[in-house]
Structure 1
């Protein structure tokens, strides 16, 4: 009887273990099946990335080694890169790109930070000022460029009207090669400053109020608190704005195309690298040269991003 009871108990235990193992295996299979169901939903996005990002990048790299007008192709090796690097208009576009980008950044970041500090010190109406300053950033850059053509018109523009009323010179902003770059800089500052203000405000509001209270107890003035507490705590934000600003500046195309066309009129004074690539590819039908210029621009952006990270003492 004892042996029979032991055998029955063992049989029951084995049955329970078998059922538990089966249930565990079934649950794992269901979980794995559920995971694969979610992966299926990612397929359209994955295909979109392959079709609209990976393929164009690979095709552009291939075209950079061919002389191509879109239908006829001839392998030329590194000839397209040599053509770009020895092209006067290309280096002129590099100069224009850096000139506009440098002044846009050194004006917009400090000015945006000052505005953000003033808004942060206001007790009421912060949201109103945030919306007011951020509106240009959500405005289409194409629409903004068209509006600025009227604002900076040499004869009918409101800015020249104000300057003339004050007895100051009235330059032909987008019609004079000597001042056309500054017309684009003014447009870029107006369009980008709202983004800088919002990013700076987010960091300003994250700085601990205890640091300011301790500084007040030690007798620090408002300017001293701004110089020795606020600015040091903003270095990460400044680095982020510097990097994103450079990347955007080096890819500048829309506004200069609207204002000066693909050749950056007047006299190629505002043609950027992006406009040079467009001109060679879609105006001159030199797709191989345009592809080579694209990769040269990519290398320039990569180098400057690396330099910015090193200067900002950030790790890649």
Structure 2
């Protein structure tokens, strides 16, 4: 009898445990439904639409014709060029500059936290709000930039109205917005480097520059790889700032239209959802290839 009673008690305990575990799955259900509805479903629906000529109402199966139209479109390749042009200069300027600033902040004994906040503030600012401010700053007549240049006796520019300077306006905005993130990440790695390495280098007679070149920089390789990969992914997906500054067509003369803006223009302005979906998957493949290349390069360096 006692053995049967103990067996019943164990069964009741197991049932209670199973019930408590099921309750946790119920709490997870809204999140899982949200992921399925707003992430998984759009991915597969976009893939399906890439094989159709669709305006949102009428659909006609076209096979790979949408991909062919995108790959033979001059506007698409212009957007690819703009995306890489802006991204390359942004990354090549921001990462070294942010690392130098982080190295200088790391030498400061007091007020580091204040400097971190000051440099990181642009990164937490909405890119849309920042773009609107930049549009005002770079206004050819009422802008602060031309006002300062005129006071200094330097030539002014039309900035966002000139294709030759519009790209650099976006680059400057991107550098200002992203450099705080680079500084914080670099600073975190700098402060994790063992002080014993620097002490040993001092004993061997290494100067501050030599320590920075042969100890600091090699120990930052993993951080540099992380910043390059995340920077490229963000650069290839660039949309918000170019949309605010130049609209979906990337005015003037499509000089700042990126791949993201091209997709938006075709999908939500021209109602060519099949073309937009095909361009989305081509952009995805480009991001995948460059991420793979960055990983390979970073592993070689590390």
Please give the TM-score of this superposition, normalised by the length of structure 1: 0.92
Of 200, 208, 217 in structure 2, the residue corresponding to residue 214 of structure 1 is 200
Q: Secondary structure at the match of 2:160?
A: coil
Matched, 1:152 2:159: no
Of 230, 243, 252 in structure 2, the residue corresponding to residue 266 of structure 1 is 252
Matched, 1:71 2:57: yes
Q: Cα gap change, 1:211/1:23 in structure 2, threshold over 3 Å: closer, same or farther?
A: farther
- Cα offset, 1:299, TM superposition: 0.4
Could you list the per-position Cα deviations for residues 214-257 of structure 1 after superposition, in whole angstroms to 9, with x for gaps in the alignment?
11111111111111111111111111111110011001111101
- Cα offset, 1:180, TM superposition: 0.5
Aligned-partner Cα distance in 1 for 2:186–2:3: 61
Aligned-partner Cα distance in 2 for 1:130–1:218: 33
Of 77, 80, 87 in structure 2, the residue corresponding to residue 91 of structure 1 is 77
Give matches, 1:163-312, under 5 Å: 163-312=149-298
- Cα offset, 1:18, TM superposition: 4.5
Could you list the per-position Cα deviations for residues 137-176 of structure 1 after superposition, in whole angstroms to 9, with x for gaps in the alignment?
1111111001001212223322233333444332221110
- Name structure 1 gaps, 5 residues minimum: 1-14
Of 155, 161, 167 in structure 1, the residue corresponding to residue 147 of structure 2 is 161
- Cα offset, 1:17, TM superposition: 4.8
Q: Secondary structure at the match of 1:292?
A: helix
Q: Secondary structure at the match of 2:257?
A: coil
Aligned-partner Cα distance in 1 for 2:97–2:215: 18
Could you list the per-position Cα deviations for residues 86-140 of structure 1 after superposition, in whole angstroms to 9, with x for gaps in the alignment?
0000000000000000000001011111111111111111111111011101111
Could you list the per-position Cα deviations for residues 51-86 of structure 1 after superposition, in whole angstroms to 9, with x for gaps in the alignment?
000011110000000000010000000000000000
- Name structure 2 gaps, 5 residues minimum: none
Aligned-partner Cα distance in 1 for 2:282–2:128: 26
Aligned-partner Cα distance in 1 for 2:86–2:245: 14
1:122 is aligned to 108
Farther-moved stretch of structure 1 (147-156 vs 221-230):
147-156
- Cα offset, 1:20, TM superposition: 4.4
Q: Secondary structure at the match of 1:267?
A: coil
Could you list the per-position Cα deviations for residues 273-306 of structure 1 after superposition, in whole angstroms to 9, with x for gaps in the alignment?
0000011011111000000000000000000000
Q: Secondary structure at the match of 1:174?
A: helix
Aligned-partner Cα distance in 2 for 1:24–1:167: 88
Equivalent pairs, count: 301
Matched, 1:143 2:125: no
Aligned-partner Cα distance in 1 for 2:14–2:104: 57
Aligned-partner Cα distance in 1 for 2:287–2:296: 14
